[in-house]
Structure formats: structure tokens, C-alpha cells
Amino acid sequence: MPIREDGQKVVGLAPSRQSSFYGRDIVSVRQFSREDLAYIMGVADEMRSIVKRVGATDLLKGYVLANLFYEPSTRTSSSFIAAMQRLGGAVIPIHGVQYSSVSKGESLPDTIRTLECYADVIVLRHPEVGASEVAARYCSKPVISAGDGIGEHPTQGLLDLYTIYTELGTIDGLHVAMVGDLRNGRTVHSLARLLRLYDTRLSFVAPDLLRLPEEIKEELLAAGRPVAETDRVEDIIANVDVLYVTRVQKERFADLRLYEAVKDYYEITPELMAQAREKMALMHPLPRVGEIHYDVDDDPRAAYFRQMENGMYIRMALLAAVLGKA
Ligand code: ASP
């Protein structure tokens, strides 16, 4: 199908109420304005209420999603599948690329060109930074990144932002701290970039080896956001509204001795949570491998299970929006 000159992809009949998401690729959170974010969070609210009331709708009946994962995933892949199915659409799941023609040496552009013959939208997770942008260039249907290496994870960023909003009722005015592997954690990169659009204060908690990339810090400073860095959770836990904890990304380490040296740097325990505000949100993109003690799970401030549920509503909203049905 043709790609229009303004970059919008033609994905079917023009919708009656076009959103700026219609026919677009979702490859980096840098493409969003505050208006876009308010819109997509509003649609996610509608999706939540549909699921709670009737479980599913036929909004995307007749549409097909290709879910193409070159890296492991539990939440992102299954929530995209659930999202498409709850919207009445169908899914081509490709989760073990070793069983596809990728193992015969097929290039990403050729795999994408193949899938666009069968699907209306492609979700792609890939180990290389920028892979979804490359895929989007070759694809006349919308491509949604499900994470590209240590780059970004835009749909996780959106669901994290939505979780902050649903947990605390606002985003402006908040102090958000991010803890753990800020260097390799793509979810951190996307969420930090989204928060630069809001009146937020940001603290980054990491050992030297895992500090936030300079480039992202500069983007935040250029947007006028106050940024602080420390390597101790104890320095900030008493005065944050959001504590966003991440796993050390073992798969990104060439030298596993370095991973061993930092893997157990942080653990959020009930004792630490006792120092935190009564009203705050403890978040984690998951999986956790020791950064949050299981005894914290019953704390009402532990938002990570609600956070992953929110992922399905945000992904329903995105699928409907890029296909012009939101
Ligand atoms: N699931 C998230 C991601 O794919 C976080 C993680 O793996 O640590 O980036």
C-alpha cells in the first residue's frame, strides 16, 4: 500500500475522527506531544472500561497483527496478543525466530516485507538499536516497536506514564526516581524522555557503571527538568512520588564479571519502604530478579502488577489508534 508524502501510511478507509496516531509507526517516544499522550491515555481508559464491562469488542475485526519477536518477552508479547484478540482482530505470532526464515539468513527488511503482505500492523522486538526505524522504512503498514536493544521501549514508556497517572492522579509536579540499570534499561530511556514533557523532577540512582546515558540527561536538562544523580536509594526514598526500579540487564554485558559486580546492588525491602511516603508508587517494568523483595508485594504502594495490566489497555489503544479505529 502507498505511503503518503507526509509519512502517514494508508492502512484502510480513512477513519471518521483521525487522530495523529492513524497510520503512524511507533518507534520512539520522542515523536509524541503532550496532546498525543493525553489522547492515548484517554483511549486506554475507554479500553479498560470495555474490558471490565464486556471483555472484548469487534473494533478490529478483520485486521491482523504480526507479532515479531527476536528477543525473549512475556508481558509485551502476550499483552499485544491479548490486546489484538480483545479488539476482535487476529495475530500471527512469531516468537521463536529460530523457527522462521530468519534462521536461514533472511534479512529484517525481507521478513518485514513478507509480513506486511499478511498483516495490517507489525509489532517488532529486536536486539539492535534503531531496528524498528529500519523496519518502518521498508514497511507500508504501521510498525510498533516492542523494544530495540538498549535503545527504547516506547509502548512500555507509555504504559509506565499511564500507570503514574492512574496511581497518583497527575504527572505534573511529581518527583520521579529511577533505580538500577539506567544505562542499558530501554524502559528507563523511554520513560525519562516522556517525563521531560511534564513539570517533573528526576533523580537517577545507579552505580557508576550503570549511569543514565549522557545524551538522555542532556535532553532532560534542555527541556528544563531538574536532574539529580546518586548511587544510594536511601538518599531519595523519603521524598519521591514514584520509585521506578529496574533489573540489571545481564544480556547486555560482554563481560559477565562486571554484571556479577553490580547485579545485587539494590533491593527494595519492607524496611526501605517504611521510609517512603504514604502516597507514592513503587514501579518495575518486570521481570524482577531480586530488586524488589516479595514481601513488598502486598504493600498498597506496590504498583507493578497494576502496571502490567495497564500495558494491555495502552496496547489496545495504540492498535486501535494506528488502524484508525480509536
Ligand atoms: N521487560 C522490559 C524490557 O523488555 C524490562 C526488562 O527486560 O528488564 O525491556
57-94 pLDDT per residue, tens: 999 999 999 999 999 999 999 999 999 999 999 999 99
CA distance 317 to 313: 6
Task: Let me know if residue 2 belongs to a domain.
Answer: no
Ligand 1: distance of its center to the CA of 14 in Å?
35
Residue 52 lies in domain: 17-153+311-322
Single out the residue of 13, 35, 23, 14 nearest to residue 136, CA to CA: 23
User: Are 316 and 293 found together in one domain?
Assistant: no
Over residues 103-159, the pLDDT tens digits come to 889 999 999 999 999 999 999 999 999 999 999 999 999 999 999 999 999 999 999
User: Are 43 and 183 found together in one domain?
Assistant: no
Q: Is 73 exposed, middle or buried (0-12, 13-18, 19+ CB in 10 A)?
A: middle
User: Are 164 and 70 found together in one domain?
Assistant: no
Residue at grid coordinates 477513519: 15
State if residue 190 touches ligand 1 by the CB under 6 angstroms criterion: no
Task: Let me know if residue 12 belongs to a domain.
Answer: no
Q: How confident is the model at residue 2 (pLDDT cuts 50, 70, 90)?
A: very low
Task: Let me know if residue 6 belongs to a domain.
Answer: no
Task: Let me know if residue 179 belongs to a domain.
Answer: yes
Task: Let me know if residue 11 belongs to a domain.
Answer: no
Return the residue whose CA atom lies nearest to atom 8 of ligand 1: 247
Ligand 1: distance of its center to the CA of 187 in Å?
7
Ligand 1: distance of its center to the CA of 16 in Å?
36
Ligand 1: distance of its center to the CA of 183 in Å?
13
| pLDDT in the model for residue 295 | 98
Single out the residue of 241, 289, 252, 254 nearest to residue 268, CA to CA: 289
Q: How far out from the chain centre does Cα 34 lie?
A: 17
What CATH number corresponds to the domain at position 232?
Answer: 3.40.50.1370
Alpha-helical regions (H) of the chain? 34-54, 75-86, 108-118, 131-138, 154-168, 186-195, 214-222, 256-262, 270-273, 304-322
State if residue 153 touches ligand 1 by the CB under 6 angstroms criterion: yes
Domain count of the chain? 2
In sequence order, the β-bridge partners of residue 202 are 176, 227
CA distance 277 to 297: 16
CA distance 221 to 227: 7
State if residue 315 touches ligand 1 by the CB under 6 angstroms criterion: no
Phi, psi of 179, rounded to the nearest 5 degrees: -125, 140
User: Are 169 and 218 found together in one domain?
Assistant: yes
Q: How confident is the model at residue 97 (pLDDT cuts 50, 70, 90)?
A: confident
Share of residues in the chain with pLDDT > 90 (%): 90
User: Are 145 and 169 found together in one domain?
Assistant: no
Task: Let me know if residue 263 belongs to a domain.
Answer: yes
Over 50: is that where the pLDDT of 44 sits?
yes
- DSSP letters for 2-34: -B-TTS-B--SSPPSS--TTTT--B--GGG--H
User: Are 87 and 173 found together in one domain?
Assistant: no
Best of 153, 284, 288 for a ligand 1 pocket test (most atoms within 8 Å of beta carbon): 153
CA distance 243 to 117: 43
Over 80: is that where the pLDDT of 6 sits?
no
User: Are 27 and 138 found together in one domain?
Assistant: yes
Task: Let me know if residue 1 belongs to a domain.
Answer: no
Task: Let me know if residue 239 belongs to a domain.
Answer: yes
State if residue 311 touches ligand 1 by the CB under 6 angstroms criterion: no
State if residue 23 touches ligand 1 by the CB under 6 angstroms criterion: no
Over 80: is that where the pLDDT of 4 sits?
no
Residue 222 near residue 192 (C-beta atoms within 8 A): no
User: Are 159 and 301 found together in one domain?
Assistant: yes
Residue 176 near residue 163 (C-beta atoms within 8 A): no
User: Are 304 and 161 found together in one domain?
Assistant: yes
CA distance 133 to 139: 10
| pLDDT in the model for residue 98 | 79
Phi, psi of 314, rounded to the nearest 5 degrees: -65, -40
CA distance 190 to 155: 9
| pLDDT in the model for residue 166 | 98
Q: How confident is the model at residue 5 (pLDDT cuts 50, 70, 90)?
A: low
User: Are 317 and 292 found together in one domain?
Assistant: no
Q: What is the mean pLDDT of the chain?
A: 95
User: Are 71 and 194 found together in one domain?
Assistant: no
User: Are 141 and 191 found together in one domain?
Assistant: no
